[in-house]
Amino acid sequence: MALRVVYRSWGGENEKNRPPGYSKLTCLVSFLRAAEAVDADVVFLNDGPVAPALRGLMDRHGKVVELEGSGMRASYWGAISLAVDSDWDDDDVVWFSEDDYLYHPEAFTALVAAADGPEAVPAQYFALYGSTPDRSVHGPDEPTSEPPPGWVQLGPFRSEGRDWVRMQSTTSTLGARLGALREDKGIFKLCMYPHKNMLRDHDTCVAIQGFSPYRPYDLVHPLYERGRSLKMRVRDALILPFLLATVARALTRRPERRRTFLAVEPNLATHMEVLRIASGTDWDAVAADAQAWGTERGLLTADGISA
């Protein structure tokens, strides 16, 4: 098994509520520190030009592929297509990363151990950050991670001193055995529709495991809920066929296609957004240590600027 990484970057910034000290440069350095501990093949997939400080580090640590301002959805699909259309082995694990995640230094050593070590866990998909029965990475503006109908909890599975448990939801920063991903490519594509500027990450995570992301109430309630505008009701009606198709796709999966998706506890990476920071780790200390590591390796100056 080889670990392949597709690290997606965008040259701009969105309006998410970021914690103090956040920067894409610190996130990248934390990623490089974690990746150095394993034998990883890294591809940096850039949606348009990125800052020179970032590009310089990318050129030194992997292959860089430039997209021409394709947008979030096209960038994600480009990353998936790059992996599934490659000549990489089905047994390989591919890790997809966004550029606003901070990594614990043991993130990828734990991932490789769980995927291919003496204490490997029985999973086809892996998360270093995600919602489990005892943890939610959803903010107050999103639904809680209530288990889907028929949910069966799995784990914890122990791998080199860390627990891995069945995961309910994560983002587009995740890992997959390439053979499973190739078979599941259609579900990833389906869960991108019909939105222009978002991904139905939760739907993807639940559907590939063979569970419905929605109860009947979830599907019909928005259509008659009081207080919703006509525009919102029309939007809900238009999206309903896509949600029903996702439910049907999930529930008709053959048993051998129902994947096991496990997340490490505590999480070894975190989305750098206030209210969505993974609990159980001093992420300020992780960021500071990553910056110190980058300075020691000559990747950063003493002021935290790319060297």
Q: Is residue 135 part of a domain?
A: yes
Question: 0.85 exceeded by the pTM?
Answer: yes
Is residue 299 predicted with pLDDT exceeding 70? yes
Q: Is residue 223 part of a domain?
A: no
> What's the domain range around 115?
3-181+258-296
Q: Is residue 166 part of a domain?
A: yes
**Tens digit of each residue's pLDDT (9 = 90 or more) over 20-33:** 889 999 999 999 99
CATH of the domain at 285: 3.90.550
Lowest-confidence range among 1-15, 94-108, 255-269?
Answer: 1-15
Q: Is residue 219 part of a domain?
A: no
Q: Got the DSSP string for the chain?
A: --EEEEEEEESS-----PPTT--HHHHHHHHHHHHHTS-EEEEEEEES---HHHHHHHHHHSEEEEE-S--HHHHHHHHHHHHHTSS--TT-EEEEE-TTEEE-TTHHHHHHHHHHSTT--S-SEEESS-BBTTB----TTS---PPPTT-----PEEETTEEEEE-SB--S-EEEEHHHHHHHHHHHHHTT-S-SS---HHHHHHHTTT--S--HHHHHHHHH-TT--HHHHHHHHHHHHHHHHHHHHHHT--GGG---EEEEES-SEEE-STT-PPSSS-HHHHHHHHHHHHHHTTSB-TTS-B-
The total domain count for the chain is 1
Is residue 175 predicted with pLDDT exceeding 80? yes
